[in-house]
Amino acid sequence: MTSSSILDHAARLRDGLPEGFRDEVVESLYSDAARITETSVTERHDGTKLTLDRLLDRALTHRVWGFVAMGLLFFGVFWFTISGAAGPSSLLSNVLVDYGHSRLHALVAPLPTPDWVTGLLLDGVYLSTAWVVAVMLPPMAIFFPLFTLLEDFGYLPRVAFNLDRLFAKAGAHGKQSLSMMMGYGCNAAGVTATRIIDSRRERLIAIITNNFSVCNGRWPTLILMGTIFIGALAPPALAGVIAAASVVTVAFLGVLVTLLVSWTLSKTVLRGHSSTYSLELPPYRPPKVWRTLYTSLIDRTLKVLRRAVVMAAPAGAVVWLISNVTIADASIAAHLVGALDPLGWVLGLNGIILLAYLVAIPANEIIIPTILMLTMTLGTNLFDAQQGVMLELGTAQTHTVLTQAGGWTLLTAVNLMLFSLLHNPCSTTILTIWNETKSPKWTTVATLLPIGLGFAVTGLTATVARLAGWA
């Protein structure tokens, strides 16, 4: 028999095994090991430590309370990341965007530099990179250390244990839950984290679906829409809670979409058996804080930030160019918005939003500043916006611009939140997917699948809302 026929015969035999056979084999091995240990090894038990570990595991790996604890814990991590990053992001924005941008203009003003060079480099390239640093650095500097502390404490293997059955039913690997969680900090880091999955089939599923984890570049869009549109529907005392709940709901939808798409892939183009693996739960141990901070800030945060900045610089140049280069008495941006408006209407969005997402593929962090700039320069300029110069406004001013100059409604905000969840990965993540797969096919699938879902979901939402008279 040839090697291929032997493998085919083994695969047929494997298909005939009863469900749960592999788990029973692993369980029997551990049972035999425990029996042999009990009869041949004498140990000194530290009752207090064992009791504490067991008490924690009874709660954190419980079929019901384990998910409750996991939800509360990660909600706390996300809340602390978002709220804790607000101050530093505002400070960096003031230093890099407000002060730095104006200071650079003052330094360049005496020089015989053409206006288009100054605009391209300072209003385009510099502003976009400044926005990315201000928006990305603080959340990543908080999220990644918190995530690593949970890993050092020994909790993340419990997360994989809790979610293993859900991902197994979806035809995916239980460790996909860990790469999914890492994606909430940065999808590029989440894609890299799929290296912990040995099976190529299951690793591809994890890579393709990681974009459904809302990375920190998308949180500002979700928070802004939740605050000025969703939260505004509730009484003032509950506005903050309702806004936060809307953002968490989108993140929860991302988990459901991850499981659904994983199941679909495992039943179609990535068919195969779920891997059986033994997950040994390590003992709880105090995290090494200083090592964690170094590892998180140097190996994760700064590396991801560097790649994002490299990608954001050309995006800023493109934003400035399409806003300032005119064809037939109208800017390229105006022509593109006009061409995209019909599709935007079908999706419950508009041409400006679609153009902002198109030019912001290198960096999601510049989407809202780009939308505000285009809305005012192509419509009613309420706050003296300049062509190609991205800007930040307060919450009340943003609401005024979007509703009065942009004609936004609740449908626009809801569909923007859905589209923020379901759209193509940023260029940093696409590059990482290519580096991890070396496959044009799977890189294309991972890029186009999310935006295809985004078009379908937002189009369906817009149609239902209009038929029901809600928009």
Give residue limits of the domains in the chain.
59-467
With residue 331 as reference, give the H or E element that holds it. Answer: strand 330-331
Give strand pairing partners of 330: 327
* Other CB atoms within 10 Å distance of the CB of residue 297: 18
Is the per-residue pLDDT at 48 higher than 60?
A: no
User: Which CB contacts under 8 angstroms, 24+ apart, belong to 190-199?
Assistant: 190/215, 191/429, 191/432, 191/433, 191/436, 192/432, 192/436, 194/436, 195/436, 197/173, 197/275, 198/275, 198/277, 199/173, 199/272, 199/275
Alpha helix stretches (DSSP H) within 185-268:
187-193, 200-209, 219-225, 236-267
pLDDT over 70, % of the chain? 91
Q: Which residue has the tokens 């591809």?
A: 204
* Model pTM above 0.85: no
Asked if 60 and 66 touch (Cβ cutoff 8 Å), the reply is yes
Asked if 355 and 340 touch (Cβ cutoff 8 Å), the reply is yes
* 365 vs 166, higher pLDDT: 166
User: What average pLDDT score do residues 294-298 get?
Assistant: 76
List CB contacts of 228: < 8 A, sequence separation 6 or more. 395, 398, 399, 402, 413
Query: Is the dihedral angle over the CA atoms 228, 231, 234, 237 positive or is it negative?
Result: negative
What would the pLDDT profile of 141-178 be if each residue is shown by its tens digit?
Answer: 887 788 788 878 888 888 878 888 888 888 888 889 88
CA distance 127 to 445: 32
Res. 245 pLDDT band, cuts 50 70 90 = confident
Q: Give the pLDDT of residue 334.
A: 92
Tokens linked to 191: 């894609």
Identity of the residue numbered 77? V
Res. 7 pLDDT band, cuts 50 70 90 = low
409: alpha, beta or left, given left = phi > 0 and alpha = psi -120 to 50?
beta
* Other CB atoms within 10 Å distance of the CB of residue 329: 6
* 303 vs 58, higher pLDDT: 58
CA distance 439 to 426: 18
What would the pLDDT profile of 367-421 be if each residue is shown by its tens digit?
Answer: 888 888 888 888 776 666 777 777 667 677 888 888 888 889 999 999 999 999 9
User: Comparing 48-52, 140-144, 216-220, which segment has the lowest mean pLDDT?
Assistant: 48-52
Task: Report helix, strand or coil for 261.
Answer: helix
Query: Is the dihedral angle over the CA atoms 212, 214, 216, 222 positive or is it negative?
Result: positive
Q: Give the pLDDT of residue 20.
A: 66
Distances (CA, A) of 19 to 14, 28, 32, 81, 119: 10, 16, 22, 42, 65
Mean of per-residue pLDDT scores for the chain: 84
Is the per-residue pLDDT at 318 higher than 80?
A: yes
Is the per-residue pLDDT at 456 higher than 80?
A: yes
Distances (CA, A) of 61 to 53, 65, 181, 277: 11, 8, 17, 17
